[in-house]
Amino acid sequence: MRKYIFLSLAAALFSLGMQAQPRISFSETQHDFGQIMWRNPAQTIFRVRNTGNQPLEIKAVEPDCGCTLVSWDQSSIAPGAEGKIIAKYDAELLGHFYKGIAVYTNIGENPYYINLVGHVVIPSEGKAENFPVHLGDKWLSTENVEFDDVRRGDRPERTVEVFNAGKKPMTLGLMHLPQYLDADIQPSVLHPGRKAKIKLTLKSDAIMNMGLTQASVYLSTYTGERINRNNEINVSVTLLPDNNYSEPTLKYAPIAHLDTTSVDLGSLGTKKRLRTQLCLTNEGKTPLVVSTLQVYNAGISVSLDRRQIKPGEKAKMKIIVNNSTLQFKGRRRILLITNDPKTPKLAIDVNVKK
């Protein structure tokens, strides 16, 4: 009988021990940040409720990587009360992430797990539409820089933006910079997910000839990088003559008129070349002189049957586009510089499909 009473009492005490303990409940066991910006840390709070009848102690909170920082209430959580665990993700890596956090308590040896999920994206300044030229991990706002309608003495500026879409820093530099260009790159060390600005300043006094001057500069991302088509930026300058003309001169000046300033030649396909013809008319009162006739693209050839056109007369312009034009970067244009004081520059866009 005594043995039976002893066993019954032990069972009752054991049952009470099983019932008298803390229990843990989380406001959520997985938090979804959705989209967050690269290198903009995101933080959330997990609410912890003690649903048991004994104090709950959070002994340790251990994230599965150094990318997550945590803090929590160090004091015991009374039955029915709440504590909190703060979790902060550093967002240093692009892409989707799933991070686990182990929560150790006085309930037992095994931890409870809470999780962080989300998607780290490039900031809006790094969206592909802002950088249409993709040269590997270098994304550029343009690979064709034009200084149009420049007069001697001008110092115009152009900006090329560069975005680092890779995972390693880039040390930016410009190779083969001509003497008539100054370049300023800020910042010169471009970290992943960031953009830099290359400011190009033209020193027009250093250009010798009127009309079109072209050069290629090469964007390097590390010391010792070689030049190639994948880091080439085209630079073109159109230097115009001075436009200081008196009223009598303007009254009797030549006037240049083209049939069109845009030519659509269709598709090259398997053809070796495409041809077309335009007319340049002098609608003024004195002879029109074409001093410069140039092309922006080496795959285009152009000729005029005469360079001096009397008032009321026309000159025939023949344009031939070779299939090699598709190998060259930049716009396909033809440039004419004339003695028309009001319109000294005429440009013809030549449109060709593959």
pLDDT digits (tens, 9 = 90+) for 219-273: 999 988 999 888 999 999 999 988 777 777 788 999 999 999 999 988 888 888 8
**CA atoms of 171 and 46, how far apart (whole Å):** 42
Percent residues over pLDDT 70 in the chain: 92
Q: How far is CA 346 from CA 204, 262, 280, 291, 296, in A?
A: 20, 11, 10, 12, 13
Mean pLDDT of 320-340: 83
What is the DSSP code string of 239-297? EEPP----HHHHHT---EEES-SEEEEEE-TT-SEEEEEEEEEE-SSS-EEEEEEEESS
pLDDT of residue 167: 79
pLDDT of residue 98: 96
Phi, psi dihedral angles at 111 (to 5 degrees): -80, 160
Q: CB-based contacts of 17: which residues, under 8 Å, 6+ apart? A: none
Let me know how many helices (H) and strands (E) the chain has, helices first. Answer: 2, 28
Question: Strand, helix or coil at 23?
Answer: coil
**CA atoms of 247 and 255, how far apart (whole Å):** 15
Top-tier CATH class for 247-353: mainly beta
**CA atoms of 323 and 334, how far apart (whole Å):** 17
Name the more confident of 136 and 183. Answer: 183
| CB distance 176 to 228 below 8 Å | no
Tell me, which fold does domain 19-121 have in CATH? Immunoglobulin-like (2.60.40)
Q: What is the mean pLDDT of the chain?
A: 89
| CB distance 24 to 107 below 8 Å | yes
**CA atoms of 299 and 52, how far apart (whole Å):** 82
The answer, yes or no, to whether residue 276 has pLDDT greater than 60, is yes
One-letter amino acid at 111 equals P
For domain 125-240, give its CATH number from 3.40.30.10, 3.40.50.1970, 3.90.190.20, 2.60.40.10.
2.60.40.10
> Can you say whether the dihedral through the CA atoms of 126, 127, 133, 134 is positive or negative?
positive
Domain segments of the chain as ranges: 19-121, 125-240, 247-353
**CA atoms of 229 and 323, how far apart (whole Å):** 18
Mean pLDDT of 261-288: 91
Task: Tell me if domain 19-121 and domain 247-353 are identical in fold.
Answer: yes
pLDDT digits (tens, 9 = 90+) for 23-74: 999 999 999 999 998 888 999 999 999 999 999 999 999 999 999 999 998 8
pLDDT digits (tens, 9 = 90+) for 78-117: 999 999 999 999 998 888 999 999 999 999 999 999 999 9
The answer, yes or no, to whether residue 20 has pLDDT greater than 70, is yes
**CA atoms of 155 and 153, how far apart (whole Å):** 7
Q: How crowded is residue 301: how many other Cβ atoms within 10 Å of its Cβ?
A: 15
Residue 213's closest CA among 203, 199, 225?
Answer: 203
